[in-house]
Chain A
C-alpha cells in the first residue's frame, strides 16, 4: 500500500504569492490608480485650497486626510474587488477549498492594498508639498511615521473583515460606490469625528481607523481637539478594535470554509 505524500502547506508562501499576484494585477489593470492615487491627490489639493491660511498645521491636516482617503479607498475597493474577481473568474470555491486557509490568501491581497495605499499617501504628500511650496510642520516625525504605519494596519484589519463579509454578499460594489463618502465622513478622514453629531460617534468608533487617526492627529497637530480621552486611550481603542476585527474575520473565514466543504459550492451567495 502506498501512502500519498501531502505537500507541506506554507501559509507565508500562500500570503506572499497572493501579494505578488495582487501586485501584478495592479500593474496590469490601471483602474487601481483611481482609488489609491488619483482621487486622493485631487482631494488633497481641494483640502489644501479649503484649509489654506487656517493655521500652521493646515498642511498636515490636508496631507493626512488625503493620505488616509488613499488607504481607505484602496481598502474599500480592493477588498471588494478581490472577492468579486474570484467570483468572476470562478476561482472562489477552488481557492476556498484549497489546503491553505483562505484568510492567508486574502491577507496577501490586503497587504498589497496597504502598500499601494502607502504609495498613494506618498504621492499625495509630494503633490500637496509642490502646491504649498514648503513641508508641513510635524513636531515628531518619527512618531508620525510609526503611527501612520499603525493606522494602515488598522485599515488592513477592516480590509480583512470586509473581504470576509463580501463572500456572503454580492453588494460589495454597491456599498463601495454609494458608501464611499459615508466611510470618509464616519471615520473622520479629513476632520475630527467629534465635529459630527454626538449620536454618530459610537458608530464611528466601531471602525479601528477612527481611533488610530485620532491618535495620529493628537501626535501631529498641537492643540488638536479630538475625543476627550486623549492619545493613549485612542491607541488602546485602536488595538482592541483591530484585534476584534481580525478575530471576527478569522471566524467568518473558518465558517466559509466549513460551508464550502459541506455544501461543495458558494453559489447561493
Chain B
C-alpha cells in the first residue's frame, strides 16, 4: 500500500534568495562583467564621455557654466552602462546559458531574486556616478555646495537603484526579444537627448519633455543637480520621492513582465520562440 504522504517543500527564505543571488550573480548572469570591464566603466568611460561633450559644448560657443552643466549631466548619464546595460543583458545570459527554464520552475521569490541580482550593478552604478562627479568637480569646474554631500550621496544612491530597476524592466521586455542589446543601447542614447544630460529639457518640444520624464534618469539627474546646488531639503526630498517612485514602478513593471512571461511559458510549454 502506498502512503499518501505529501512531500514537504522546504520554505525558501526571502533573504536567502536575495543574498545568494547577490553573491552568485557576478559568477553567473553577470559573469560578462570582468574586473577590467568594471574598472573601465567606473574610471575611463565617465572621463572620456565628459571630455567629449565638454569640447562639443566649447565648439558650440558654450561658456564655463554650460560646460559644467554638460559635465555633471554626463557624469550621471554614465550610470546607464552599469545599470541598464549590464542588468538588461542578464536576460540574454539566461537564454545563452540555458538556465531560463530552470529559473522559471524555481519557487524562489521573484523580487528577492531580481533585486539580489541588482545589488552589484547598484554598487557599480553608485561608484561610476561618484567618480564621474569627482571628475566633474576637479576637471570641469562643477560647483558642489558646501554641506550638500549627504544629500548628494542620497540622490546618487536612489538614482542607481532606480536605474537598475529600469534595467530590469528592459530586461523583462527583452524576454520577448532575441537580444536585449538594442533595447539597452536605444535607451542609453535617448537618455543623452531627452533626460537633460547635455542641455536643459526645457529646450526640447513639450512632447519630448514628457517622454523624457518617463525615464528614471531624468528624475535622478534633477535630484542630483538639486542636491549639488544645495537646494533646500524639502525640494531635494521631493526629487527623492520622484526617483524612488520611478525606481519602484520600474521594478514592479519588470516583475510583472517576468510573471507574464512565466505564465506564457507554462501555457505553451516553451520559451524557445523568443
Contact = CB atoms under 8 A, between A and B. Distances in A.
B30 to A, nearest CB: 15
A42 B36 CA distance: 28
Contact of B41 (A51, A52, A178): A178
B193 to A, nearest CB: 5
Interface string A66-90: 0000000000000000000000000
B182 interface: yes
B55 A191 contact: yes
B185 A191 contact: no
Contacts of B53: 46, 50
Interface string A152-190: 000000000000000000010010011111101100001
A2 B175 CA distance: 59
A266 B189 CA distance: 37
Interface in B52-99: 52-53, 55-62, 70
Which size class do B's interface residues fall under? 20 to 34
A177 B60 contact: no
B198 interface: yes
A191 B53 CA distance: 10
Contacts of B37: 174, 177-178
Given A33-B182, A178-B41, A51 B60 contact: yes
A181 B203 CA distance: 25
Nearest to A173: B37
Which size class do A's interface residues fall under? 35 or more
B59 A190 contact: yes
A168 B58 CA distance: 39
B182 A174 contact: no
Interface string B152-196: 000000000000000000000000000101100110011011000
Contact of B203 (A39, A49, A184): A49
A47 B56 contact: yes
Nearest to A195: B55
B52 A178 contact: no
A61 interface: yes
Which of A42, A50, A61, A184 has its CB near the most chain B CB atoms (within 10 A)? A50
B45 A49 contact: no
Contact of B192 (A46, A51, A196): A46
Contacts of A125: none
Contact of B179 (A31, A50, A171, A196): A31
For the complex, would chain B's binding face be called helix, strand, loop or mixed by DSSP majority?
helix
Contact of B48 (A33, A47, A185): A185
Contacts of A185: 48, 51-52, 55
Given A49-B198, A174-B40, A58 B49 contact: no
Given A181-B45, A181-B49, A54 B189 contact: no
A4 B199 CA distance: 69
A205 to B, nearest CB: 17
A268 to B, nearest CB: 19
A52 B70 CA distance: 15
B192 A42 contact: yes
B31 to A, nearest CB: 14
- Closest A-B pairs by Cβ, 8 of them: A178-B40, A181-B48, A42-B189, A54-B61, A51-B60, A50-B60, A191-B59, A34-B185
Interface of B: 34, 36-37, 40-41, 44-45, 48-49, 51-53, 55-62, 70, 179, 181-182, 185-186, 189-190, 192-193, 198-199, 203
Interface of A: 30-31, 33-34, 38-39, 42-43, 45-47, 49-55, 58, 61, 65, 171, 174, 177-182, 184-185, 190-192, 195-196
Given A53-B61, A177-B40, 13 more contacts: A30-B182, A34-B182, A34-B186, A46-B199, A49-B198, A51-B59, A177-B45, A179-B48, A181-B45, A185-B55, A190-B59, A191-B55, A191-B59
